[in-house]
Structures are given as structure tokens and as C-alpha cells.
């Protein structure tokens, strides 16, 4: 009976020991993915800020500029790309909408970002764009990979349409979460004019005819929860200038926008709560269950060996030897 029990325990030990690496290295990349239908909105504010008045082409100080970033998954588009890419793909339609203190639009820049649902690496396909211009992204954007590492990554800057390193600057604590702090600096770079501007009749093409160009510089900062790869907080020290051309008259340049853009408090709270719940689910697959199953397998193996040893104990009869009869001495 003990031998049967030890064999059952041994089989269970092998099962759980084999299940441990399968969860981590097989199930994890197949189950943990960004959902294709995800929809999220983030609101950031610069208080105060400097903003151009396109009517007078002069910069003025304003109490607040609001930046609304929206990401919306296109399920039909992702399924179409998946058929040719042979992997799970997410298609995000993004919109960065900037509005002044009066609530009126300052600029809006749409994007289409196509990436691998698990690794977050770009998937190049038709339709990938920023403000209507085709782009070929390299590196990540918006989100870090699951199980983010303590190293530099390549991050795509949508304004400049370039990929630059974003540097790991250390581990910090943010709202009770351990996070990795990343920072990227984009030096002054000439960038395209937004195709949608707030003044009727004023377009990127009409501005280009005046010889006036747009320049941009930023310091981008993210606090990333490493298990989910989700930024729980972000901010930018953002600067834009218009330079040269007949539009500015005798001025060499004028500030188009300048401000320290920070994530709004209510969106920080919602993001942290969401990341906490997602973090637990990922840790179950990558850490808690694999290690738990491995420890359980070792314990079951030890118990099986113990029962096997007990089965060979006093309960088993001692082997005996049959002795041949001794010859009887003959009578004298």
C-alpha cells in the first residue's frame, strides 16, 4: 500500500516540477499580452505655460495648457495584420490633443502604432503613421515590455520621428510601488508642422511657404512598474519654437509652446490602481505559481522517498536461509 502511495506521489512530484518551467517559459509569452481592444485616456497639464497666439504670432503666458492622450485599439485592423505577421498584434490609434486655457484646440496629432502584443516591439505594416506621415518605428513607444529590465531602451519620439535611447536612471518608490525611472533628452530638432492648426486658413503648407520652421526639444521622464511594463507616471519639460521666415518679421524665433507637462492627479490614481491589479496576475504566472509548483514538487518527491523507505522497513519479512539436515553419526 505504501509503495502504491509513493508511486502516486512521485508522479505528482514530476508533474508539478515539469509544470513550473512550462508556466514561466511557455504559458507566460502566450497568455500575458496587451489586449487588442484596449482603450485608455491620459490627461496631462502644464501649469503655467507659454503659448503662441497665432493671431498675433506672439508668445504669451497662460495659466494652463492641457494635453489629452488617447489610445484606442482597432481589433479588426489587428486581426488583419495577424494573418500576415503570424503572431498576436495590437493596433493602437492614438491622438495627442492640446488645448489652451479656454478649452480651444491648439493642435492635434494622430498616430497609428502597430506592435507585438507580448514583446511590445513594432510590427511594420502599411498604415503605420504619425500625423498622416508614414513612419517606420524602431524601439518602444507608450509602454515598456513585460518584466522590464534595469537597462536602457530605444524609445520612439513621435514629434521628431526618430528613435533615441531612453536611459534607466535607477529604482524608486512611487505610491507604494517599486518602479524604474527612465529619462530621455531630445535636443533641439527641426520637426514637421502639425497638419491641423487652430487658425482657419492657416496650414502647414502655408507656413512652409513663408520659410518659417518649427523646432522642438524635450526631456521625457517615466516611472515604469517593471512587472507590467506600464508607466504609472510621466512628465515632460517640453519646448517648441517657430524660427525664421517672413511670418515672424524681424524676429529670429518665437516660443510656440513651453511648459512642464505633468500627469494629472486623478489619472495617476486610476493608473496605479489598474497596474496593481495587473501586476498580481502577471506575478502569479511568472513567479508565485512556478516557484510554488517547484517547491511542491520537491516536497512530494521527499514524501514519496520517505514512504518508499518506510515500505522497506520492519514490515518486510527478513530473508531466511534453509539449512540442510546434519548427518547423524553412525552407531558404532
Name which of 236, 121, 131, 110 is nearest 182 in CA terms: 236
Residues 191-215, mean pLDDT to the nearest whole number: 87
At 7, is the pLDDT very low, low, confident or very high (cuts 50, 70, 90)? Answer: confident
C-alpha–C-alpha distance, residues 315 and 295, integer Å: 31
- pLDDT bucket at 10, cuts 50 / 70 / 90: confident
Say which residue the cell 497639464 belongs to: 45
- 46-48-49 Cα angle (round to 5): 70
pLDDT at position 260 over 50: yes
What pLDDT score was predicted for residue 32? 93
pLDDT at 209 over 50: yes
Cα 118–Cα 120–Cα 124 angle in degrees, nearest 5: 115
Residue 135 CB coordination number (10 Å): 18
How far CA 185 is from CA of 160, 189, 216, 220, 221, in Å, comes to: 12, 11, 11, 6, 9
So what's the pLDDT on residue 320? 55
Instruction: Taking residues 308-326, report their average pLDDT.
Output: 60
Tell me what the mean pLDDT of segment 81-92 comes to: 91
Flag the least confident range among 23-32, 115-124, 215-224, 316-325.
Answer: 316-325
pLDDT band at 203 (very low <50, low <70, confident <90, very high): confident
pLDDT at residue 332, rounded to an integer: 42
129 or 321: whose pLDDT is higher?
Answer: 129
Would you say 67 and 261 are in contact if contact means Cβ atoms under 8 Å apart? yes
Domain boundaries, the chain: 2-20+286-311, 32-263
- pLDDT over threshold 80, residue 326: no
281 has pLDDT over 50: yes
Res. 37 pLDDT band, cuts 50 70 90: very high
Question: What pLDDT band is residue 329 in, cutting at 50, 70 and 90?
Answer: low
Query: What integer pLDDT is reported at residue 85 of this predicted model?
Result: 84
* Across 292-300, average pLDDT: 91
* Mean pLDDT, range 180-187, rounded to an integer: 98
pTM, rounded to two decimals: 0.87
Amino acid at each position: 500500500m505504501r509503495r502504491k502511495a509513493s508511486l502516486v506521489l512521485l508522479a505528482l512530484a514530476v508533474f508539478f516540477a515539469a509544470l513550473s518551467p512550462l508556466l514561466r517559459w511557455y504559458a507566460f509569452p502566450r497568455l500575458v499580452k496587451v489586449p487588442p481592444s484596449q482603450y485608455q485616456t491620459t490627461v496631462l497639464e502644464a501649469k503655467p505655460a507659454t503659448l503662441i497666439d497665432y493671431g498675433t504670432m506672439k508668445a504669451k503666458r497662460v495659466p494652463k495648457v492641457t494635453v489629452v492622450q488617447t489610445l484606442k485599439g482597432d481589433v479588426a485592423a489587428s486581426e488583419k495584420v495577424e494573418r500576415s505577421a503570424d503572431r498576436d498584434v495590437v493596433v493602437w490609434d492614438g491622438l495627442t490633443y492640446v488645448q489652451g486655457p479656454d478649452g480651444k484646440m491648439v493642435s492635434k496629432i494622430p498616430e497609428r502604432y502597430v506592435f507585438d502584443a507580448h514583446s511590445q516591439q513594432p510590427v511594420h505594416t502599411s498604415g503605420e503613421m504619425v500625423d498622416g506621415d508614414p513612419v517606420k518605428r524602431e524601439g518602444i513607444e507608450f509602454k515598456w515590455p513585460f518584466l522590464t529590465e534595469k537597462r536602457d531602451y530605444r524609445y520612439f519620439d513621435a514629434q521628431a520621428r526618430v528613435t533615441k535611447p531612453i536611459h534607466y536612471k535607477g529604482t524608486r518608490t512611487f505610491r507604494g510601488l517599486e518602479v524604474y525611472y527612465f529619462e530621455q533628452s531630445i535636443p533641439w530638432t527641426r520637426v514637421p508642422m502639425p497638419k491641423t492648426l487652430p487658425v482657419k486658413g492657416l496650414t502647414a503648407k502655408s507656413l512652409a511657404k513663408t520659410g518659417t520652421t518649427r523646432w522642438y526639444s524635450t526631456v521625457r521622464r517615466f516611472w515604469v512598474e517593471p512587472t507590467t511594463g506600464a508607466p504609472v507616471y510621466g512628465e515632460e519639460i517640453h519646448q517648441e519654437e517657430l524660427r525664421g521666415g517672413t511670418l515672424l518679421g524681424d524676429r529670429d524665433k518665437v516660443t510656440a509652446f513651453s511648459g512642464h507637462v505633468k500627469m494629472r492627479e486623478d489619472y495617476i490614481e486610476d493608473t496605479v490602481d489598474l497596474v496593481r491589479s495587473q501586476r498580481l496576475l502577471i506575478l502569479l504566472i511568472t513567479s508565485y505559481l512556478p516557484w510554488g509548483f517547484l517547491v511542491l514538487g520537491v516536497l512530494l518527491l521527499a514524501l514519496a522517498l520517505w514512504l518508499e523507505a518506510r515500505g522497506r522497513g520492519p514490515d518486510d519479512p527478513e530473508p531466511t536461509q534453509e539449512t540442510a539436515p546434519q548427518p547423524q553419526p553412525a552407531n558404532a
